[in-house]
Amino acid sequence: MNKQLVNAMAELDRAKVLEIVEEEIDKGTDPSKIIDWLSEGVKIVGEYFEKKEYFLAELITSGDIFENAFQELKPILEKSNVNLQSKGKIVIGTVQGDVHDIGKNIVKSILTASGFSVNDLGVDVQPEKFVEAVKNSDTKILGLSALLTIAIDSVKDIIKLLERENLRKKVRIIIGGSAFSEEIANKLGVDAFGKDPQDAVRICQKFLK
């Protein structure tokens, strides 16, 4: 673990974060490892926010720094996909009421880098939009991201709507983001919970077997 990077992220030192990310890229470090260290730093930001040592402005800055660093890593992640044939289609998005998308974007990039063709619907996506995307494509997987606990209700609405349109059996649903857990996934009746992008790839590959 590059502790310096974790600390620079937690302290919101943008210049230091970008400098260390560049050093790690030059060293040939696996980009998903660099993402894990950045995520570790962002986790600490969340803890400071809970303790009221950081406020909304700091949350926004952490998201922005993460995004900056991620832009450096994205081309490296996606380059590994150049000659891969699509392994299958996935529709993904952050559910209605929630605008957190850093984690969802990482999952999208790593799924893309692993050969999946990903249709990203963005953030604060209405249930109808998810259902429409499932209806109008031959996707077999629906990925839902949420970090806000209150956004869980949105997942229930999506499932209800899919059932009403007779589409529930057409797709396997995978949920992820800190609003969810294995237990919540079981309660919601979705097909899987993924804790990180590696989980997402493993589970989606299993779905398509």
Q: Residue numbers of the site for ligand B12 (CB under 6 A)? A: 39, 42-43, 45-46, 49-50, 56, 59-60, 62-63, 97-104, 106-107, 143-145, 147-149, 174-178, 194, 196-197, 199-200
Q: Which is nearer to ligand B12, 5 or 42 (CB)?
A: 42
Q: Are the CB atoms for 115 and 142 separated by under 8 Å?
A: no
Closest CA to 96 of 161, 140, 45: 161
Question: Smallest distance, Å, CB 84 to ligand B12?
Answer: 20
Q: Which is nearer to ligand B12, 26 or 111 (CB)?
A: 111
Q: Which is nearer to ligand B12, 24 or 98 (CB)?
A: 98
Question: Smallest distance, Å, CB 173 to ligand B12?
Answer: 9
Question: Smallest distance, Å, CB 61 to ligand B12?
Answer: 8
- Which residues neighbour 178 within 8 Å (Cβ) at sequence distance 6 or greater? 103, 147
Q: Where are the alpha helices (DSSP H) in the chain?
A: 3-10, 14-27, 31-50, 56-79, 102-113, 127-135, 152-164, 182-188, 197-207
- Which residues neighbour 109 within 8 Å (Cβ) at sequence distance 6 or greater? 70, 74, 77, 78, 197
Q: Which is nearer to ligand B12, 70 or 82 (CB)?
A: 70
Question: Smallest distance, Å, CB 144 to ligand B12?
Answer: 6
